Structure 1
Amino acid sequence: MKVEALLFGGVALFFAGSAALYGAWSGEPAGTAVLIIAFGMAGLVAFFCLIQYRRRGSRPQDRTDAEVVDAAGSLEFFPPHSAWPVITALGFAVAALGVIYGLWLFLMGVGVLARGVLGMAFQYVNRPD
């Protein structure tokens, strides 16, 4: 993940520089805000990749002398049946409708969305390895 962290770090630096130059020269706040958000998203992905690299070390894909058999085996645990993605999608849809129809609906959607995301994140927290 080191290569991915460097790649997204470079993208984040590009968006940071673009936001600074665009904000200084144009004075237009909407485009500057979009570039700052793009910087934040790329920086978040770079940070995640860097943390994963430090936790797990290099992967077989990162080594030039690796064989195909080095990457064999189970990669991660993927849940076969879960209702949480549907609840998360429903919460997002209700929150999006709340942007149109009113704050009360938006807040209900954010509540359902938060419960769905937390359910997905913690549904197998006590699963034995």
Structure 2
Amino acid sequence: MRTEALLFGGVAAFFAGSAVLYGVWSHFDPAGTAALVVACGMAAVIAFFCAAHYRRKGLRPQDRGDAEVADGAGPLEFFPPESHWPVVVAAGFAVAATGVVYGLWLFLIGVGVLGAGVCGMVFQYAGRDSGRVG
């Protein structure tokens, strides 16, 4: 993950420099400057995630030259067998999208249902023991 962090850090620095130069040369055109600043921010978020992941977990087997295929084997992650929360999220999104056409009250109801569905999906297995070793 260190290589990815450096790569995306370089991309973020490129977009930051481009945003400054574009902003000065275009007399701070709001659309182009904002797009470059957002691109810099997105690359910086990915670089931060990769750097934090590398700092927490160290080298992956893919990063080591002496690693064997078996070093990367093992349980990957927990995949839930069934969940009703995706249906709630879909219904909330449908109601919110319909609310854009029919009124704010329906949109707010849809956002509430969508928020409940997303929270339900995120925290459905929050108390579950991950079973990881190490």
TM-score between both structures, scaled by the size of structure 2: 0.77
Q: 1:79 is matched by which residue type in structure 2?
A: P
Percent identity, aligned pairs only? 70
Aligned length: 129
Q: Tell me which residue corresponds to 1:25.
A: 25
Q: Tell me which residue corresponds to 1:83.
A: 84
How far residue 82 of structure 1 moved from its aligned partner, in angstroms, is 2.5
How far residue 65 of structure 1 moved from its aligned partner, in angstroms, is 0.7
Q: Tell me which residue corresponds to 2:56.
A: 55
1:13 corresponds to 2:13: yes
Q: Given the superposition, is the C-alpha separation of residues 89 and 62 from structure 1 closer, same or farther in structure 2, using an over 3 Å criterion?
A: farther
Larger mean Cα displacement after TM superposition, 77-86 or 34-43: 77-86
Which of the pair has more CA radius of gyration?
2
Deviations 1:50-104 (A, max 9, x none): 1111121111011011110111111122223233344445545555565666554
Residue segments in structure 1 that go unaligned for 5+ positions in a row: none
Separation (CA, whole Å) in 2 of partners of 1:93 and 1:40: 30
Q: Tell me which residue corresponds to 2:2.
A: 2
How far residue 123 of structure 1 moved from its aligned partner, in angstroms, is 1.3
Separation (CA, whole Å) in 1 of partners of 2:98 and 2:24: 36
Q: Given the superposition, is the C-alpha separation of residues 31 and 106 from structure 1 closer, same or farther in structure 2, using an over 3 Å criterion?
A: farther
Q: Given the superposition, is the C-alpha separation of residues 124 and 93 from structure 1 closer, same or farther in structure 2, using an over 3 Å criterion?
A: same
Separation (CA, whole Å) in 2 of partners of 1:110 and 1:6: 38
Q: Classify the secondary structure of the residue corresponding to 1:23.
A: helix
Separation (CA, whole Å) in 2 of partners of 1:44 and 1:70: 29
Q: Classify the secondary structure of the residue corresponding to 1:61.
A: helix
RMSD of the alignment, in Å? 2.3
Q: 2:79 is matched by which residue type in structure 1?
A: F
Q: 2:17 is matched by which residue type in structure 1?
A: G
Q: Tell me which residue corresponds to 1:41.
A: 42
